[in-house]
């Protein structure tokens, strides 16, 4: 790995260290609190995962399956597609079992993740107020239903910087666009370098990283040297302009990225056993398995924030209006083993303590049926979990009522969750601010007071 | 600290009358902006003794004779138990001491009431300052005198005038967004004539219209997961470009955008201005979101209008009284009430044509229903015309094709613009959420002399023009008139500051959307006021303002970093800037010889690679429908399809705005993805390859490349290294043309190309 000194030596004299470092927000910044956490891997299940079929068992719901629900329970609840007072209750088609020493109840959708029950801290009392995908995704990642604010990853990079000088500090992996579009991982009003960089598949994961087709490496390097030479002459007459210097450095950095990024995504050096752990090579799990393995490789390289999406906008996601069992079975089969592999691998390499792994989604699904085999969006209650980062696993924060309609204990909204994530990374969510439109803007706006780090760490 | 307070006290130990005057001076300067009878934030009014004794929501502000027990004193002394005030800044200890002594002596009140308008500088009326006479031969026009006086004060001297080629390039880019071509540089007339020539060029409106589009968060689509097209948004884009080209007076420009439907009922062009309120993000097409969407839309209207026209961030006052500026929550909802009756509408550009279009649509719809069935009938059996097992099915498909061709033979973009009007002359009521059922009536910011307005809905004349009349409330007309009234303290200050910023890289007020107490103080307050009053005296002409700025010596300086003025706050030189995204895009096309100067029209959708489209929501064949005519692909960037969830990658990396909120100033970042885009990206490579084909046919390709890209001949040293480079690359890459492509790629990536000196 290149150190900064090494990097500056190689890029030649004359570049201000600041100029070069500013290109990627490289160079770690001090945190507000001491923490071991260096990286966040956020596994985002796109489409809305049903909480009552995964992490939040509701035997009472199963018992009353087929009945309508008393009107008093659903007062004030609404969705686009079903009428809460008329739709019938539907119990989960999946069995819940107790796992690990802790006896955490998890459904049969995630047999592999369940093996890590004693490492997971479940949060069963998430809620929000946006019941369409995009606004709910913005809410989870930016704290506002309205697009255009900085995302959690961008805030993290802004607050802590990155520890790798040749890779972006905030990497996003997906199969294509999500319903939130790029604003789900955008920098909003923060400087653009804090935006999530999308890693595509293939050897060259970053847009325009590959030398164009038909141009040989030697040709490319020769042109770069020529460009450098002319730029140096231009700069010589304009000494001290750090913008010009930074741009010269940016070409060298781009060139190094051409080496560093393919190296980061090249998994050929991984053992067969490791690949198997992630389900690489198996048709169902290969794709998400590769992403999870890349996440570990990026974490090893000091990338600050890695956001993985399971599911895209093209219908291949967790949305389950018409086929809950088919869709959730399929999506779980794709991601269960890879996520379990990631946890196992991080643990084995001693990386889990310095990595915060988050599993989340934009909303839950209605305990009431939509059509013959569906559930509608349910932002009023849903689940997520966290692991690593020194979190004591095998426990549950918050709970919902007997039907999974609303949180009853320790409700947490997106601000509370984001405040907690920042806190685990060593940041005080009230102090991580950026002055914009006359205000010290925060990820958590004026909220986040129900941050629950203490519970997680004790 | 203690010693200081004692000295301060003794310095101010004076008679009761004098003490009251001083205390009231402190109150007027620091407190009354928010706590007067007009603004009354937190319910507190400090303008009379009775009101101060009564206090605000939290209780009495004063205990006469006992400062330590008075909330007012505790607040300014920053003692615990009450919120520290003023919120935006610390009161100097001397002033705190005055207040203490005054309260301790019984808080006597002066007979004369204090001024209700807060003492904040930007809320004061604009008084045209006299142009100072600087002792300087450098000063060419009034601007320079203001600047030179400050130079003298700060012991700075101006940088020398830049050379002609530098100035021509600077002017071209600043006024047209395009660098000069070699021929334009050679033929450029004298400096002042060049300014006039470029101001008269249609390219001017494309460049400066783009800035206005940034401000009003323009986009062709609505955003969110559906990201639907905003019907006819581009008509508004063209309206903006034309308005700048026609040098439309600023007051008229604002009036058309805010209330064109009421003020100019017979003028479709003016009404197109109300597209301002259609081109923002919205969820108009979401089912069951009407309530949220309406609230968000009204919020967007108030926030955008307040930021763009007044340079005030009112957003805070949506949820509570503004903590820093004198905008009570009530004022926010007064302004929201102005927009409460709005409804989005189609603006027929010509009554006859629009009726013709609708008639045609009516017929087409009937035919399409049947064609739809016909297609459904054969769809399962044929993949396409060439793959039909049954000739009868093929015949049906062929017939579909023929019917469609005939139907759309004369199809043209529909003759409508998007705009807003009122739903009727009665408005829905406005309330402050969670604050009871007291109706809020339309009005404007109290601290700016607004308050409630009384309204008579405008009378409707008989319709004679193209547009059917509809009754409206007149609320937006009242707003437009208030914002454009001759003595408005903010409107002109804010806009001249924006124009100044675009020419010098930094505004006289460095926070262009914040002229409130959290904004930056003006570096040259008299100059700002002089410019604002000059702008008004010139009828709000942008072109005359540009001319004034551009013909100054201040503008013509070289880039000369001065350690004594590191931020160039005092204009002791010119500030180098990077080209903005659109300028890079357009300059590459111009140099490559492929720039299509066609103006106006529906947004252009250029082809992108699969990698580039990776983040596009929806299937490209539905959401990225390529423009049919390939010559369109190389038009200026301002005409490219601007999708809210997907920016053209090349523009995005160079900081093109996201268009979610108003963008008053482009960022100018430097990043590796920019270098990757320019060095490896499709856009540049395609142009480089096209150009190298041309270059391989000329006798002096190096000179030609230099002239076309850098607009100057190569130096001897450059010629030498370029010749060696070409030879080496011909060896590396195999062909002369490939080597020339490399030369062109290299030149397009030069700082010399990407920056303006």
Mind listing the pLDDT tens digit for each residue in B241-254? 999 999 999 999 99
Q: What is the rounded average pLDDT of the residues B262-276?
A: 94
Q: Which of B483, B130, B121, B181 is nearest to B325 (CA)?
A: B121
**b/e map of A58-75 (b: 16 or more CB within 10 Å)?**
beebeebeeeebeeeebe
CA angle B149, B152, B155 (to 5 degrees): 150
Chain B contact for A6 (CB, 8 A cutoff): no
Exposed / middle / buried, residue B359 (Cβ in 10 Å: 0-12, 13-18, 19+): exposed
- Per-residue pLDDT tens digits for B9-62: 333 334 666 777 778 878 877 887 778 776 677 888 887 888 888 888 888 888
Q: What is the mean pLDDT of residues B225-240?
A: 94
pLDDT band of residue A72 (cuts 50, 70, 90) is confident
Residues 6+ apart with CB under 8 A from B294: none
Question: Taking Cα atoms as reference points, which of B323, B348, B307 lies closest to residue B495?
Answer: B307
- Per-residue confidence (pLDDT) for residue A14, from 0 to 100: 35
> Which among A159-168, B68-77, B99-108, B595-604 has the top mean pLDDT?
B595-604
Residues with Cβ < 8 Å from B661, sequence gap 6 or more?
A148, A189, A437, B217, B303, B304
Would you state the pLDDT for residue A65?
Answer: 94
Residues of A in contact with B290 (CB under 8 A): none
Please report the pLDDT score of residue B117 as a whole number. Answer: 52
Q: How far apart are CA B484 and CA B472, in angstroms?
A: 20
pLDDT at B465 (0 to 100): 66
Pairing of strands A355-361, A197-199: unpaired
The residue among A309, A211, A189 whose CA lies nearest residue B733 is: A211
B103-112, B113-122, B316-325: range with lowest mean pLDDT? B113-122
Spatial contact of A397 and A455, defined as CB atoms under 8 Å apart: yes
CA distance A181 to chain B (A): 5
Cβ within 8 Å of B, A 194-213 = 197-198, 200, 206-212
Classify B59 as helix, strand or coil.
Answer: strand
| Residue A176 pLDDT | 80
What lies within 8 Å, CB to CB, of A446 at 6+ separation is none
Q: What is the sign of the dihedral through the CA atoms of B371, B377, B383 and B386?
A: negative
What is the torsional sign of CA B244, B248, B254, B258? negative
Q: How far is CA A388 from CA A118, A122, A392, in A?
A: 11, 12, 8
End-to-end CA distance of chain B: give it in Å, rounded: 49
Contacting A residues, span 323-382, partner chain B, CB-CB under 8 Å: none
Give SS3 for B707.
Answer: helix
Point out the residue among B611, B616, B750 whose CB comes nearest to the CB of A207. B611
Give percent above pLDDT 90 in chain B: 59
Whether A148 contacts chain B with CB within 8 A: yes
- Rounded Cα–Cα distance for residues B716 and B707 (Å): 14
Report pLDDT digits (tens) over B183-198.
999 999 999 999 999 9
Q: Which pLDDT band holds residue B457 (cuts at 50, 70, 90)? A: low
Structural element, H or E, at residue B452: strand B451-452
Judged on CB neighbours under 10 Å (0-12, 13-18, 19+), A164 is: buried
What six digits make up the tokens of B703? 């000179």
In 3D space, the residue among B293, B313, B291 whose CA is nearest the CA of residue B303 turns out to be: B313
Residues A204 and A338: beta-carbon distance below 8 Å? no
Residue B225's pLDDT band, with cuts at 50, 70 and 90, is confident
Q: Cα–Cα distance between A323 and A334 in angstroms, integer?
A: 17
Best CA proximity match to B692, nearest among B653, B742, B651? B742
Which segment of A50-64, B258-272, B438-452, B610-624 scores lowest on mean pLDDT?
Answer: B438-452
Look-up of token digits 């691998």: A345
- Mean pLDDT is highest, among A33-42, A436-445, B465-474, for A33-42
Place of tokens 């990286």: A39
Is the model's pLDDT at A144 over the cut of 80?
Answer: yes
CB-count exposure of residue B39 (10 Å: 0-12, 13-18, 19+): buried
Closest to A393 in 3D by CA, of A342, A418, A357, A420: A357
Q: Give the integer Cα–Cα distance in Å for A234 and B715.
A: 12
Other CB atoms within 10 A of residue B191 CB: 15
Is it the case that residue A13 has pLDDT exceeding 50? no
> Taking the complete model, does pTM exceed 0.95, yes or no?
no
ipTM: 0.83
For residue A377, pLDDT beyond 90:
yes
In A, minimum Cα distance to B616 occurs at A177
**Token digits of residue A180:** 């939130």
Residue A448: pLDDT band with limits 50, 70, 90: very high
State pLDDT tens for residues B141-152.
999 999 999 999
Output the DSSP codes for B413-436: --SEEEEEEESSSSPPPB--TTS-
Question: Quick one: how far is CA A61 from the chain centroid?
Answer: 31
Contact B742 A223 (CB under 8 A): yes
Q: What is the 3-state secondary structure (H, E, C) of chain A?
A: CCCHHHHHHHHCCCCCHHHHHHCCCECCCCCCCCCCCCEEEEEEECCCCCHHHCCCCCHHHHHCCCCECCHHHHCCCCCCCCCCCCCEECCCCCCEEEECCCCEEEECCCCCHHHHHHHCEEEEEECCCCCCHHHHHHHHHHCCCCCCCCCHHHHHHHHHCECCCCCCCEEEECCCCCCCHHHHHCCCCCCHHHCCEEECCCCCCCCCCCCCCCCCHHHHHHHHHHHHHHHHHHHHCCCCCHHHHHHHHHHHHHHHHHHHHHHHHCCCCCCHHHHHHCCCCCCCCHHHHHHHHHHHHHHHCCCCEEEEEECCCCCCCCCCCCCHHHHHHHHHHHHHHHHHHHHHHHHHCCCHHHEEEEEEECCEEEEEEECCCEEEEECCCEEEEEEECCCCCCEEECEECCCCCCEEECCECHHHHHHHHHHHCCCCCCCCEEEECCEEEECCCCCCCCCCHHHHHC
Q: Read off the DSSP letter of residue B108.
A: -
State the smallest CA–CA distance between residue B144 and chain A in angstroms.
25
Alpha helices, H only, B246-382: 250-263, 268-272, 290-305, 329-339, 351-379
Q: Mean pLDDT in chain A?
A: 90
Where does residue A125 rank: exposed (0-12), middle (13-18), buried (19+ CB within 10 A)? buried
The pLDDT value recorded for residue B639 is: 98
pLDDT range class, residue B696, cuts 50, 70, 90: very high
CA A422: distance to chain centroid? Answer: 13
Euclidean distance between CA atoms A33 and B753, whole angstroms? 45
Rounded CA-CA distance B731/B718 in Å is: 20
Q: What is the mean pLDDT of residues A130-135?
A: 88
Chain-chain contact of B658 with A186 (C-beta, under 8 angstroms): yes
> Which of chain B's residues have a Cβ under 8 Å away from the Cβ of A178?
617
Per-residue pLDDT, averaged over A260-267, amounts to 92
User: Is B733 in Cβ contact with A219 (below 8 Å)?
Assistant: yes
pLDDT at A9: 34
pLDDT tens-digit map of A89-107: 999 999 999 999 999 999 9
pLDDT band at B262; cut points 50, 70, 90: very high
Angle between helices B542-550 and B525-537 (to 10 degrees): 140
Give residue B248's Cα distance to chain centre.
17
Interface with chain A: mutation pick from B679, B718, B724, B731, highest number of A CBs within 10 Å? B679
Phi, psi of A36 (to 5 degrees): -90, -15
| Residue B235 parent element (H or E) | helix B233-245
Pairing of strands B577-578, B451-452: unpaired
What per-residue confidence (pLDDT) applies to A18? 46
Residues in chain A: 458
Q: Quickly state the pLDDT bin for B325 (edges 50, 70, 90).
A: confident
Instruction: Give the Cα-Cα-Cα angle B186, B192, B194 (nearest 5 degrees).
Output: 40
Whether A437 has its CB under 8 Å from any CB of chain B: the answer is yes
Query: Over 80: is that where the pLDDT of B111 sits?
Result: no
Considering Cα of A34, then A38, then A43, then A48, what sign does the dihedral take? positive
**Are A241 and B578 a contacting pair at CB < 8 A?**
no
Q: Answer with the residue of higher pLDDT: A83 or A348.
A: A348
What are φ and ψ of residue A234, in 5° steps?
A: -60, -40
**What does the alpha-carbon distance between residue A388 and residue B731 come to, in Å, rounded to a whole number?**
55
User: Quick check: B732 and A218 CB within 8 A?
Assistant: yes
Of A326-340, A421-435, B110-124, the poorest mean pLDDT is in B110-124
**A240 CB within 8 Å of a chain B CB:** yes
- In this prediction, residue A37 has a pLDDT band, given cuts at 50, 70 and 90, of very high
The four Cα atoms B236, B242, B247, B252 give a dihedral, to 10 degrees, of: -30
Average pLDDT, chain B: 89
Strand partners, B43: none
Whether the pLDDT of residue B113 is over 70: the answer is: no
The answer, for A103 touching chain B at a CB cutoff of 8 Å, is no
Measure CA A320 to chain center: 21
Mean pLDDT calculated for residue range A218-240: 92
Which residue of chain B comes nearest to A82, CA vs CA?
B288
Asked if B671 lies within 8 A of A192 by C-beta distance, the reply is: yes
Using the 8-state DSSP alphabet, how is residue B473 labeled?
-
Beta bridge partners of B513: none
Is A254 close to B681, i.e. CB distance below 8 A?
A: no
Contacts of B751 in chain A (CB under 8 A): 231, 234-235, 244, 247-248
Q: What percent of chain B has pLDDT over 70?
A: 95
């Amino acid at each position: 790995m290149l150190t900064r000194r090494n990097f500056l030596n190689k890029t030649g004299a004359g570049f201000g260290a600041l100029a070069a470092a500013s290109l990627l927000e490289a160079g770690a910044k001090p945190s507000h609190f001491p923490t071991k956490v260096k990286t966040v891997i956020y596994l985002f299940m796109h489409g809305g995962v049903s909480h009552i079929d995964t992490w939040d068992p509701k035997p009472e719901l199963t018992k009353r399956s087929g009945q309508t629900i008393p009107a008093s329970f659903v007062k004030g609840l609404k969705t686009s597609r079903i009428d809460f007072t008329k739709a019938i209750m539907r119990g989960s088609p999946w069995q819940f079992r107790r796992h690990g020493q802790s006896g955490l109840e998890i459904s049969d959708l995630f047999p592999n993740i369940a093996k890590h029950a004693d490492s997971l801290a479940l949060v069963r009392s998430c809620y929000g107020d946006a019941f369409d995908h995009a606004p709910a995704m913005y809410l989870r990642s930016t704290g506002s239903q309205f697009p255009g604010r900085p995302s959690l990853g961008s805030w993290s990079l802004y607050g802590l910087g990155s520890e790798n000088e040749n890779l972006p500090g905030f990497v996003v992996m997906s199969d294509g666009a999500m319903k939130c579009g790029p604003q789900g991982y955008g920098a909003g009003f923060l400087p653009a370098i804090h935006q999530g960089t999308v890693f595509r598949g293939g050897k060259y994961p970053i847009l325009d990283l590959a030398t164009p087709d038909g141009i040989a490496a030697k040709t490319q390097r020769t042109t770069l040297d020529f460009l450098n030479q002319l730029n140096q002459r231009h700069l010589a007459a304009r000494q001290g302009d750090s913008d010009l210097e930074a741009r010269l450095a940016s070409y060298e950095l781009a060139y190094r990225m051409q080496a560093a990024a393919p190296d980061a995504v090249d998994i050929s050096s991984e053992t067969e056993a490791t690949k198997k752990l992630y389900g690489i090579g198996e048709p169902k799990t290969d794709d998400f398995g590769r992403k999870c393995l890349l996440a570990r490789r990026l974490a090893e390289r000091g990338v600050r924030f890695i956001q993985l999406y399971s599911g895209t906008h093209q219908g291949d996601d967790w949305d389950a209006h018409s086929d809950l069992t088919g869709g959730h079975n399929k999506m779980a089969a794709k991601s269960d083993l890879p996520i379990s592999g990631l946890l196992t691998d991080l643990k084995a390499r001693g990386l889990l303590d310095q990595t915060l792994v988050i599993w989340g989604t934009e909303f839950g699904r209605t305990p009431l049926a939509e059509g013959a085999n569906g559930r509608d969006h349910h932002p009023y209650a849903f689940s997520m979990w966290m692991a690593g980062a020194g979190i004591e696993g095998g426990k549950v924060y918050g709970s919902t009522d007997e039907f999974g309609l609303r949180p009853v204990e320790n409700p947490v909204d997106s601000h509370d969750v984001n405040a907690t994530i920042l806190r685990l990374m060593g940041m005080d969510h009230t102090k991580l601010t950026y002055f914009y439109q006359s205000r010290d803007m925060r990820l958590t706006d004026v909220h986040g007071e129900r941050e629950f780090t203490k519970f997680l760490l004790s | 600290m203690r010693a200081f307070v004692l000295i301060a006290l003794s310095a101010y130990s004076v008679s009761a009358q004098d003490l009251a005057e001083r205390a009231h001076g402190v109150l007027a300067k620091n407190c009354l902006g928010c706590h007067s009878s007009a603004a009354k934030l937190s319910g507190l009014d400090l303008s009379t003794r009775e009101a101060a004794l009564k206090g605000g929501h939290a209780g009495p502000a004063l205990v006469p004779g006992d400062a330590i027990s008075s909330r007012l004193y505790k607040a300014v002394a920053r003692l615990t138990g009450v919120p520290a005030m003023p919120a935006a800044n610390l009161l100097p200890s001397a002033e705190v001491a005055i207040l203490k002594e005054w309260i301790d002596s019984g808080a006597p009140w002066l007979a004369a009431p204090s001024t209700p308008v807060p003492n904040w500088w930007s809320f004061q009326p604009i008084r045209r300052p006299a142009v100072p006479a600087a002792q300087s031969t450098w000063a060419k026009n009034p601007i320079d005198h203001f600047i030179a006086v400050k130079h003298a004060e700060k012991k700075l001297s101006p940088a020398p005038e830049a050379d002609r080629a530098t100035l021509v390039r600077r002017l071209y880019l600043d006024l047209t967004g395009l660098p000069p071509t070699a021929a334009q540089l050679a033929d450029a007339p004298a400096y002042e004539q060049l300014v006039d020539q470029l101001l008269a060029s249609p390219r001017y409106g494309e460049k400066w219209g783009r800035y206005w589009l940034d401000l009003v968060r323009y986009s062709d689509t609505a955003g969110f997961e559906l990201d639907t097209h905003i019907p006819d948004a581009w008509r508004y884009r063209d309206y903006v470009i034309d308005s700048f080209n026609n040098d439309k007076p600023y007051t008229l420009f604002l009036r058309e955008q805010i209330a064109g439907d009421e003020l100019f009922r017979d003028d479709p062009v003016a009404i197109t201005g109300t597209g301002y309120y259609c081109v923002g993000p919205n969820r108009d097409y979401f089912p069951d979101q009407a309530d949220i969407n309406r609230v968000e839309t009204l919020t967007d209207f108030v926030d955008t209008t307040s930021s763009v026209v007044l340079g005030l961030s009112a957003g805070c006052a949506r949820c509570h009284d503004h903590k820093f500026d004198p905008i009570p929550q009530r004022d926010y909802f007064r302004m929201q009430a102005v927009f409460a009756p709005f409804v989005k509408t189609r603006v027929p550009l010509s009554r006859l044509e629009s009726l013709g279009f609708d008639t045609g649509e009516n017929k087409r719809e009937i035919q399409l229903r049947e064609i739809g069935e016909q297609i459904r009938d054969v769809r399962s059996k044929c993949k396409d015309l060439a793959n039909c097992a049954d000739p009868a099915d093929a015949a049906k498909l062929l017939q579909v094709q023929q019917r469609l061709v005939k139907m759309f033979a004369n199809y043209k973009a529909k003759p409508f613009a998007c705009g807003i009007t009122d739903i009727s002359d009665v408005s829905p009521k406005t309330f402050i959420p969670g604050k009871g059922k007291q109706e809020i009536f339309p009005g404007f910011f109290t601290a700016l002399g607004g308050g409630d307005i009384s309204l008579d809905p405008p009378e409707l004349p008989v319709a004679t023009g193209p547009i059917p009349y509809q009754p409206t409330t007149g609320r937006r007309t009242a707003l437009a008139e208030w914002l454009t009234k001759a003595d408005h303290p903010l409107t002109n200050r804010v806009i001249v500051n924006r124009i100044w910023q675009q020419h010098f890289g930094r505004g006289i007020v460095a926070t262009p959307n914040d002229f409130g107490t959290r904004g930056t103080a003006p570096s040259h307050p008299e100059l700002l006021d002089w410019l604002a009053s000059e702008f008004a005296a010139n009828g709000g002409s942008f072109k005359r303002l540009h001319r004034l700025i551009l013909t100054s010596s201040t503008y013509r300086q070289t880039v000369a970093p001065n350690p004594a003025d590191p931020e160039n706050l005092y204009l002791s030189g010119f500030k180098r800037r990077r080209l903005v995204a659109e300028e890079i895009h357009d300059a590459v096309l111009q140099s490559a010889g492929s720039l299509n100067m066609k103006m106006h029209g529906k947004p252009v959708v250029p082809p992108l690679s699969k990698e580039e489209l990776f983040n596009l929501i929806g299937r490209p064949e539905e959401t990225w429908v390529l423009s049919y005519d390939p010559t369109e692909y190389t038009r200026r960037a301002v005409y490219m399809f601007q999708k809210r969830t997907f920016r053209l990658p090349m523009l995005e990396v160079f900081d093109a705005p996201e268009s979610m909120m108003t963008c008053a100033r482009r960022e100018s970042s430097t990043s590796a993805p920019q270098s990757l885009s320019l060095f490896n990206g499709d856009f540049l490579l395609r142009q480089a390859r096209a150009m190298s084909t041309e270059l391989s046919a000329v006798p002096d390709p190096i000179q030609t490349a230099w002239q076309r890209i850098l607009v100057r001949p190569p130096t001897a040293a450059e010629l030498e290294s370029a010749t060696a480079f070409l030879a080496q690359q011909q060896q590396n890459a195999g062909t002369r043309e490939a080597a020339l492509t490399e030369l062109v790629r290299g030149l397009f990536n030069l700082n010399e190309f990407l920056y303006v000196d």
